[in-house]
């Protein structure tokens, strides 16, 4: 049975930060059962977000035998509404004229939903490897916010992480069946976090590195070039796919805020160079493009040519994502060849060790 969305009163919405804490341990001491706050979306107008209390589905029993609680968010658009179901509870809070949709969710439920959002493969050892990395992301963000906020991805906000790829793609319960299957995988690698030198590693992974894993500092300026982020060949090289994105000169100029006469690609470090002098990092350019609605720039590995007939710049490359850390396509090949998740993690995160964590 689907409940009708109800209107939220001003008193319900005008809650300034802080609301619920970004992290709440539980009496059991299990890290995977602890609650975190995830930013789902940030909107200027409240009318663009609605919450359906109790969710779209009746309560469902999970793999652990507990009743799973859904919450549903409806996002209004010009042409259609989009709805997403999330584990745990949803809350709208406001600050500085913006409305924030926050999801209070158990760590294990968050990991399960990221798994089904980030990949389609069901290779068990690949799923376990990615489970460890996502848990490591959560654990590292909690550690950094407590001890050194400058290292955190959202150092000053009262939520821990966001639902964008800036942290990890998180779209909630895309499928109840896939969610329950993913949750079983989370439980099979329960409480394991990846460490190097006594500290949780930086959690970086991509869909496909294009055949060669990259150093973090070559893609993200200022990123610590940890020794475990080696540049190396990747098993995905046998299945690398190419891509092409075309940007009209005028449209690109509107996005960048200046006239574009030439575009070049630079590598090590990876940059996009405009007019021979204006240099954008891969991350900066991708951020500008995503906000504009133009075709995505899919990886740092590309060349640029000019098409005078359409007055457009043609970007052609290989890979999908930044190409740093674990490559999902390469890890899938390793898993299919019989490698376990520990060996997969050690290949992409050299000399790092797994440790169980509790609270």
Rounded CA-CA distance 278/97 in Å is 34
Looking at residue 55, its pLDDT comes to 55
pLDDT of 225 reads: 61
Tell me what the mean pLDDT of segment 6-23 comes to. 51
What's the token pair of residue 63?
């793999």
Q: For the residues 23-31, what does the mean pLDDT come to?
A: 83
pLDDT digits (tens, 9 = 90+) for 37-73: 999 988 888 888 888 866 555 455 544 455 556 788 8
Minimum mean pLDDT range among 13-17, 122-126, 265-269, 331-335: 13-17
SS (H, E, C) 142-204: HHHHHHCHHHCCCCCCCCCEECCCCCCCCCCCCCHHHHHHHHHHHHHCCCEEEEECCEECCCC
Q: Quick one: pLDDT band at residue 224, thresholds 50, 70, 90?
A: low
CB atoms within 10 A of CB 43: 16
pLDDT in the model for residue 226: 74
Distance (Å, whole) CA 264 – CA 113: 38
Average pLDDT score over residue span 186-212: 88
pLDDT at 141: 94
Q: Which residue has the tokens 């993913």?
A: 182
Which letter, b or e, does each residue of 195-233 get, where b requires 16 or more Cβ atoms within 10 Å of its Cβ? bbeeebbbbbbbbbbbbbbbbbbbbbeebeebebbeeee
**Position 8 confidence tier, pLDDT thresholds 50, 70, 90:** very low
- Within 8 A by CB and 6+ apart from 34, the residues are 23, 24, 25, 26, 106, 107, 359
- Across 25-29, 91-95, 230-234, the highest mean pLDDT is recorded for 230-234
User: How many CB atoms are closer than 10 A to CB 22?
Assistant: 23
Question: What span, in angstroms and rounded, lies between the C-alpha atoms of 210 and 335?
Answer: 18
Residue, of 262 and 177, whose pLDDT is higher: 262
| Buried b / exposed e along 337-352 (16+ C-beta atoms within 10 A) | eebebbebbbbbbeeb
Mean pLDDT value across residues 319-348 = 93
Over the stretch 161-193, which tens digit does the pLDDT of each residue have? 999 887 899 999 888 888 888 888 888 777 899
pLDDT of residue 359: 58
- pLDDT of residue 343 exceeding 90, the answer is yes
Per-residue pLDDT, averaged over 247-257, amounts to 93
Check residue 264 and give its pLDDT: 93
Nearest to 20, CA basis, from 215, 125, 157? 157
Q: How confident is the model at residue 293 (pLDDT cuts 50, 70, 90)?
A: confident
Q: What is the DSSP letter of 18?
A: P
pLDDT at 304 over 80: yes
Dist CA 195 CA 322 (whole Å): 22
pLDDT score of 285: 87
Bridge partners (DSSP) listed for residue 42? 100
With a cut of 80, say whether residue 209 has pLDDT above it: yes
11 pLDDT more than 70: no
For residue 148, what are its two tokens? 């050194």
162-176 as b/e: b if 16+ CB within 10 A: bbeeebbebebbeee
Does residue 289 carry a pLDDT above 80?
yes
């Amino acid at each position: 049975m689907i409940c009708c969305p109800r209107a939220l009163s001003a008193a319900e919405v005008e809650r300034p930060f802080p609301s619920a804490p970004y992290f709440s341990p539980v009496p059991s001491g299990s890290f995977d059962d602890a609650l975190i706050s995830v930013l789902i979306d940030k909107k200027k107008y409240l009318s663009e977000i609605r919450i359906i209390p109790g969710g779209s589905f009746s309560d469902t029993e999970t793999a652990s035998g507990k009743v799973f609680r859904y919450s549903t968010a409806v996002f209004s658009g010009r042409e259609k509404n989009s709805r997403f179901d999330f584990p745990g509870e949803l809350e709208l809070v406001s600050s500085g004229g913006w409305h924030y949709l926050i999801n209070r969710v158990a760590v294990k439920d968050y990991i399960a939903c990221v798994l089904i959002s980030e990949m389609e493969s069901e290779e068990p050892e690949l799923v376990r490897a990615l489970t460890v990395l996502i848990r490591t992301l959560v654990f590292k963000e909690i550690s950094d916010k407590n001890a050194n906020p400058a290292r955190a991805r959202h150092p000053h906000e009262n939520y821990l992480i966001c639902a964008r790829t800036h942290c990890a793609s998180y779209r909630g319960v895309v499928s109840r069946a896939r969610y329950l299957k993913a949750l079983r995988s989370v439980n099979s690698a329960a409480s394991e976090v990846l460490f190097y030198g006594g500290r949780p590693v930086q959690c970086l992974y991509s869909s496909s590195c294009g055949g060669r894993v990259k150093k973090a500092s070559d893609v993200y300026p200022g990123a610590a070039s940890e020794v475990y982020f080696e540049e190396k060949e990747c098993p995905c090289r046998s299945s690398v796919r190419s891509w092409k994105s075309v940007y009209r000169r005028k449209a690109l100029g509107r996005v960048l805020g200046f006239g574009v006469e030439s575009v070049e690609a630079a590598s090590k470090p990876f940059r996009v160079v405009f007019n021979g002098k204006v240099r954008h990092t891969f991350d900066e350019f991708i951020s500008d493009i995503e906000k504009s609605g133009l075709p995505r720039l899919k990886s740092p590995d590309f060349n640029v040519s000019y098409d005078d007939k359409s007055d457009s710049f043609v970007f052609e490359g290989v890979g999908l994502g930044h190409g740093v850390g674990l490559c999902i396509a390469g890890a899938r090949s390793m898993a299919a060849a019989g490698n376990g998740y520990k060996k997969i993690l050690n290949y992409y995160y050299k000399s790092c060790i797994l440790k169980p964590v509790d609270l």
